[in-house]
Amino acid sequence: MRYISRFVMVVLIFTLLGNSGQLNINIGGMEIKKFIEMVGKLTKKNILVSEDVKGKISFYLNNNKLDNDDLIPLLNAILETKKLTMINQGDYYEVIRSTEAPGKGLPIKRNRVQSDEGTMQTVIFKLNRANAGVMRTKIKSLLPKSAKVISFKSDNLLAVTAFPRTLKAIKQLIDTIENSDNKLTKVVPLRNAYVKNIFLNIQTMARTLFPQDIPSQRVTVMKDEASNSIILIGSRDNVSRLEEYVREMDVRGEDEDMQRMYVIPLKNSNVEDMEKILSKILPQMTDNVSMGTINAVSKGAKSAVPRTPRAVPTKKRKIKKAVIASDLERNALIVLANTAQIKNIKETIRVLDIEKPQVYIKAKIVEVNTNLASRIGVKYGLNGSAITSKGLFSILASSGAEPLEISSELMGFLNQGSTRTIYNSDGNPIGTETTSNFSFEEGIKQIFSIGLQLDLLKQNGAAQVLSEPSILCTNNKESTIYVGKTKSFLKNSQQSTQGNSNIINTYSREDIGITLKVKPRLSSNNKVSLEVETKIEDIEQGSGASTDRPTTIKRTVKTNAIVNNAETIILGGLIRTATGKSYTKVPILGDIPIIGQLFRSEAKEQEKTNVVIYLTPYIVEKSSDLVTLRKNLEELDSIQEKFNKIVLNELEKRRLGIIDEKTHVTFSTKPLLRAKGYSGVDSENYILDSATDIEIGEGSGIRSESVLETLERPSREIDLNSIDTEINPETGFEEVIY
């Protein structure tokens, strides 16, 4: 009866106040099921109650009144105290235990909390600054047992299932953390330690202490070597914590001055040369070094912007001198130095120990019989034009031979050159001109007149190639090529002191041959400066054959020249004269005694031999370029051989009187191949040392004036038979200008 009377009282109260839309509720000791039934009737909601829902509730509302819409939230609040909750299933509400609610498909909201009914729900929070995993650990202790929290690491999301008022508190906490931007910048001046010595340790410590995937927890560490300071940027608490470690490390480090042993291998440089360079620098590393800084700020200065402390030296200490030695076997430097010294030494080595350009030099040493060379033109009916490059090219062009095909890669190599500035009469630049190593007319790819000339001389016995050495030189380093043999010379002869008639001879070993010394130096604009010294030692024929005391002949050339990359220079003038007798007679009649003297003659002749040296430098920027260079040179040699065969066949036809119908050819004013001679005519392209041992007359050189003058005119047809060339008899082959 007691429960019935209480229920009737509550119903009467609701009924009396129902017309006004507001309720005044006072409940004491009512069963939960009865209260749920009452709320369902007042709100006209269907509520499903499980049989295991037990317990009683008491609720007293004094001054304030409730609206009809507040009954569902009130019921949820009352159920929450009993670890129960009510979830909206659409057409009805279901009362279940709070721990079972997350698995019942609660409504999901994103970054907002719906609190109209007060039922449990799931809210997903998107974290921009904080780490979701760390946040889940932090807020888990703030949630009731019925609530659930899950973090999604990849998307940095946090899902929380709880009652609305709990979710509101969690949202407020997350917003506070996300919106907090209280970063602090702290400059920590170092008084004892070097900032470069402890910077990496502080940076590593910051990464270890504070999560790097959480921007708000991250501490940025920077260094300022000018002021010897560490700069910390981050939250106030984290910066203060890290600053303590910086202070602990800012102590006088005796190990900073302690010298240690370092072994530094060199990759490209010579260890002895590097040691000489560094030995001149090491004394500058032994001065007194200032240590420590203080914050120097002007008194009375006020500013809203914080200033970076200025470093002021407080004390000095003596630094021990670094010691350096060479390990020739390993091509390495052994250094005894402290931390600061070894850093400077390593930086210097890094800059100097780089791959250096080299110069690949092809040399050809040829001995020419000038007497025979002057007769070749007569033999082939060319009046000497055969030994000029233009004369040779004239023969090839008139033969109607097919052009020799050259690969595009090789053509690029042949056409590379240098660019020079062109000036007008007032000295002002008006443009640039690119000069190629080899010049071609369109459709004409026949080159190599120099090689053809040598081949022609060799076939006629006028030239002999003594040596064709090649050498790879380091920039500004002298290289030597020696070709020859060692011969014994009688130095002393005396009779034995043992009382017999034996003769004791003393011999010395001497080198007889050709010595070529070259010292290349790379200049600007793709040019090479060559210091060349050539020495030829030989034994005079017929001298000292029986006494072992022959007469030796020494010929020397020493000069300097500046040439373009892949450009040929010619050195000559190493002339040797041999005197002999020649006999001329009429067959049969010249052999008759006494009378035969009328039909034979005897005369003295001088035979001159001249040694000519061809030098062609090629710049090799790096070692890998050497393979490409050799490949191109091999292709050049192959084309040279084909070129020589075509022209020499045409020469032989002319000598035998076999003349093709095509006797005219069109020339161009551009020379086919530019190879500079020794006489110094083309002073714009190379320079000769004034101290050279050979003197050449101003008018020296084999000249073909009519050919040169004709080629200077506009292109037209030229009759080879009408060209009259001449040879200057006072000069040698070495002075040919191509």
3-state helix vs strand vs coil in the chain, percent to 5: 30, 30, 35
Same domain? 666 vs 724: yes
Same domain? 477 vs 529: yes
Same domain? 600 vs 504: yes
Q: What local confidence, expressed as pLDDT, does residue 373 receive?
A: 66
3-state DSSP call for residue 129? coil
Q: What local confidence, expressed as pLDDT, does residue 266 receive?
A: 92
Alpha-carbon 499 to chain mean position: 78
Who's near 276: CB < 8 A, 6+ residues apart?
Answer: none
Considering 47, 80, 105, which residue would you say is the last residue of a domain?
A: 105
Q: What local confidence, expressed as pLDDT, does residue 605 receive?
A: 65
Q: Give Cα separations from 695 to 466, 570, 688 (angstroms).
A: 24, 15, 12
Q: Spell out the SS3 assignment of 84-127.
A: EEEEECCCCEEEEEHHHHHHHCCCEEECCCCCCCCCCEEEEEEC
- pTM metric for this prediction: 0.43
Tokens representing residue 209 in the block? 């202490």
73 φ, ψ (degrees, to nearest 5): -60, -35
Tokens representing residue 30 in the block? 């009512």
Residue 306 resides in a domain = no
Who's near 401: CB < 8 A, 6+ residues apart?
Answer: 446, 646, 650
Q: Spell out the SS3 assignment of 134-176.
A: HHHHHHHCCCCCCCEEEEECCCCEEEEEECHHHHHHHHHHHHH
Tokens representing residue 737 in the block? 């200008």
3-state DSSP call for residue 334? strand
Considering 52, 73, 105, which residue would you say is the last residue of a domain?
A: 105
Q: What local confidence, expressed as pLDDT, does residue 374 receive?
A: 65
Q: How far apart are CA 55 and CA 29, in angstroms?
A: 9
Same domain? 473 vs 333: no
Residue 470 resides in a domain = yes
Same domain? 346 vs 441: no
Q: How far apart are CA 520 and CA 472, in angstroms?
A: 10
Alpha-carbon 333 to chain mean position: 24
284 φ, ψ (degrees, to nearest 5): -75, -10
Q: What local confidence, expressed as pLDDT, does residue 72 receive?
A: 75
CATH number of the domain encompassing residue 342: 3.30.1370.120
Residue 539 resides in a domain = yes
Same domain? 242 vs 263: no
Q: How many CB atoms lie within 10 A of CB 350?
A: 10
Q: Which residues of the chain have pLDDT under 50?
A: 1, 5, 8-9, 12-13, 15-20, 288-314, 381-407, 409-410, 413-414, 437-447, 545-546, 661-738
Residue-range definition of the domain harbouring residue 2: 1-105
List the end-to-end C-alpha distance of the chain, in Å, as a whole number: 139
Q: How far apart are CA 523 and CA 528, in angstroms?
A: 6
- Which residue, 438, 432, 433, 729, is CA-closest to 608? 729
Cross-strand partners of 323: 336
Q: What local confidence, expressed as pLDDT, does residue 376 receive?
A: 63
Residue 300 resides in a domain = no
Same domain? 568 vs 665: yes
Q: How far apart are CA 452 and CA 641, in angstroms?
A: 8
Who's near 433: CB < 8 A, 6+ residues apart?
Answer: 419, 420, 422
Q: How far apart are CA 464 and CA 297, in angstroms?
A: 86
Residue 310 resides in a domain = no
How many domains, the chain?
Answer: 4
Considering 305, 330, 352, which residue would you say is the last residue of a domain?
A: 352
3-state DSSP call for residue 284? helix
Same domain? 424 vs 547: yes
Same domain? 69 vs 9: yes
Q: How far apart are CA 686 and CA 350, in angstroms?
A: 36
Tokens representing residue 554 in the block? 């020494």
Report whether 168 contacts 192 (CB < 8 A): no
The two beta strands, 463-467 and 417-423, are: unpaired
Q: Which helix (H) or strand (E) holds 17?
A: helix 2-17
Same domain? 380 vs 242: no
Same domain? 391 vs 517: yes
Residue 595 resides in a domain = yes
Q: What local confidence, expressed as pLDDT, does residue 540 receive?
A: 72
Q: What local confidence, expressed as pLDDT, does residue 178 receive?
A: 74
Residue 216 resides in a domain = yes
**CA quadruple 124, 128, 129, 130: dihedral, nearest 10:** 20
Same domain? 438 vs 549: yes
